[in-house]
Amino acid sequence: MRKPLRIPGVCVVTAALLLTACADGDGAPATSIQSPTELPGQAVRLAVSASVLIAADAALSVRPVSEVRITPGSVVADVGQTVALKAEAFDASGSPVEDVELVWNTVDPRAGSLDEDGLFIAGNIPGRYEQGLSVTAVHNTPDGIKYVSRMIAVTVVGEAEMPVLTSVTIFPERPRLLTEQIYRLRAVAFDQDGLLIPTASYVWQVNDASLGRINSLGYLTVEGKPGLYEGAVTATAIWDGVTATAATDIEIVDTEAGETVLKVQALPQNFHLDPGDKLQLRAVAINGLGELVRGTELRWSVINDQAGTIDGRGMFVAGLTPGIYTEAVKVEAVVLGEQGYVRAEDYASLVIRSPKELSLRMAALNVVPGTVAGPAGTRALVIAHVVDEHGRAVQGVNIRWEAVNESVGEIDMNGAFKIAGSPGIYKGALKATAEQQLGEELVTLSQTVNVVITGTMTSARIQPSLATIAPGRTMHFAVSVEDEFGTALSGLSYSWSVSDPVVGTIDDFGNFTAGNVTGLFENAIQVEVVQTLPR
């Protein structure tokens, strides 16, 4: 929904490797784009810039977004069904606001999955999820960045197995703290399958008064002497009239823990799935004060291949062999500290249940995503869901994957796809076939997947290309990059800078804070985009 601002009277002149947009007599600002510089076998670099107008009265004409509406207003879908959602932003008078970035998010992962364009795929756990999905409208205004969010409920139709609060986990476990330190403890509640219950509430209690005190948010004020306090803090989770309690030890030490202390917690750490089921795993990184560490890189991997597969975002797909897989999933947190990179790791265990007796006839095969896009040499995970005529998940179905066009790469029995070949668009390049044996009858369904192998980036632009902002205010710049086929590229590195410190400052995420000097600053916002090439 974000639209780049257009600058009138702009012409383009090519000179060697530099493309410069020039202005005519109407005073339009100039922008510059540097042609890609390719380092064979290493990386491609592209530089692009935008202009800033800093004006003291810039905020007077602004119409900030005050409401965001989602269509449909609630989602009712069968298991695995796809629903296209649309969001619109409005100001206080009810007029549409066009220059807005929309950020979609799945609040409750049990509801399903959601991509950046609002395409929702219902999960395979029937039920009603009041806080299922959300969208946030991010509006750059001369007076700063404005945020407005809207949440909608999701109902996944089917025979629901109602979740029951079963356990609660306190993390980090047995922290080592200092006297007079204030430390944030956290708790998460899980149901009978080890799935997170996001709407549970918590009651904290200190069981040993000599340790200190704790507030309702889990902030522990340490007042005790060095030593081990066993079972000193208790968290009680409350949800749907059911409670679950857990306790943790606290160790007080008299030496500095240091600011580089890093811990990571996989969520959940124990869970149950049927063969082929998927679950979005999450992890949190915590520093020596118990606060969440921003900017942490999470690396997921599977220790036991029979347990299943996992992608870089933590989406886990269970294998087909029932059993108990202890510490089969690993998450590693990496963060840059003052002394270099700091790492921490944690593990999760799972149980793959025995397939239920086949009593449902499969009627539809849904494959996600419908199009796989990425550069050669990267990996992607393709997931297949089989449902009956009522949208209920069908268990015990054999899924076979094949590359119809072998030039696009290889795909294994679990849907793990390694992209290969020349850049281009390959329709129907992958194929999933579901087979269900019902007595002597073999029922089969097939679905194809398109593959887009992205190429070398050839163009980039900053949005907005001309920003109007008041002194001292903050706004966000974004970069869109395309390859020679016009395909949007992701997974790139960005290095932001400003041409002159008097203009202001910009962080690593494109958030710009204007300085106090007013005026038009041409090509002041600069970014270098780096695309790593496959070896």
Indicate whether 471 and 516 sit together in one domain.
yes
Indicate whether 437 and 489 sit together in one domain.
no
Element (H, E) at 233: strand 227-239
Question: Reduced to 3 states, what is the DSSP secondary structure of residue 254?
Answer: coil
Question: Residue 230: inside a domain, yes or no?
Answer: no
Beta bridge partners of 474: 513
Indicate whether 279 and 350 sit together in one domain.
yes
Question: Residue 282: inside a domain, yes or no?
Answer: yes
Distance between CA 47 and CA 322 in Å, rounded? Answer: 52
Question: Residue 196: inside a domain, yes or no?
Answer: no
Indicate whether 74 and 109 sit together in one domain.
yes
- Residue 385 has a CB neighbour count (10 Å cut-off) of 24
Indicate whether 304 and 368 sit together in one domain.
no
Indicate whether 42 and 131 sit together in one domain.
no
Indicate whether 423 and 343 sit together in one domain.
no
Question: Reduced to 3 states, what is the DSSP secondary structure of residue 526?
Answer: strand
Distance between CA 124 and CA 386 in Å, rounded? Answer: 10
Identify the CATH number of the domain in which residue 368 sits: 2.60.40.60
Indicate whether 41 and 97 sit together in one domain.
no
The residue segments making up the domain with residue 390 are 364-454
| pLDDT tens series, the chain, 535 aa | 333 333 333 332 222 222 333 333 333 333 344 445 544 457 788 999 999 989 887 655 567 888 999 999 889 988 778 899 999 989 888 888 877 888 898 888 778 888 888 889 887 778 888 888 999 988 877 777 777 889 999 998 876 667 789 889 888 888 888 888 888 898 989 887 777 787 889 999 999 999 999 999 899 999 999 999 999 999 999 998 899 999 999 999 876 544 447 888 888 888 888 787 888 888 888 887 777 777 788 899 999 889 999 988 888 988 888 888 989 999 998 887 666 778 889 999 998 887 654 457 888 888 888 888 888 888 888 888 887 776 667 777 899 999 999 999 999 988 899 999 888 889 999 999 999 988 788 899 999 999 999 888 889 999 888 888 888 888 889 898 998 888 888 778 899 999 999 999 999 888 999 999 998 999 999 999 998 876 6
Domain boundary among 324, 355, 386: 355
Question: Residue 515: inside a domain, yes or no?
Answer: yes
Contact (CB, 8 A) for 402 and 412: no
Residue 512, pLDDT score = 92
Domain boundary among 424, 454, 484: 454
Question: Residue 185: inside a domain, yes or no?
Answer: no
Quote the number of domains for the chain. 4
Distance between CA 83 and CA 391 in Å, rounded? Answer: 14
Which DSSP symbol is given to 111? G
Indicate whether 442 and 377 sit together in one domain.
yes
Contact (CB, 8 A) for 218 and 231: no
Extended beta strands in 4-74, E state = 10-15, 18-23, 31-39, 43-54, 67-71
Indicate whether 25 and 85 sit together in one domain.
no
Identify the CATH number of the domain in which residue 85 sits: 2.60.40.3450
Residue 315, pLDDT score = 87
Indicate whether 79 and 46 sit together in one domain.
no
Identify the CATH number of the domain in which residue 318 sits: 2.60.40.1080
Residue 302, pLDDT score = 94
Residue 59, pLDDT score = 55
Q: Which residues contact 148 (CB under 8 A, 6 or more apart)?
A: 65, 66, 67, 68, 89, 136, 137, 139
Tokens of 261: 């202390």
Question: Residue 510: inside a domain, yes or no?
Answer: yes
Indicate whether 270 and 345 sit together in one domain.
yes
Domain boundary among 422, 438, 454: 454
Question: Residue 117: inside a domain, yes or no?
Answer: yes
Question: Residue 242: inside a domain, yes or no?
Answer: no
**pTM to 2 decimal places:** 0.49
Residue 390, pLDDT score = 64
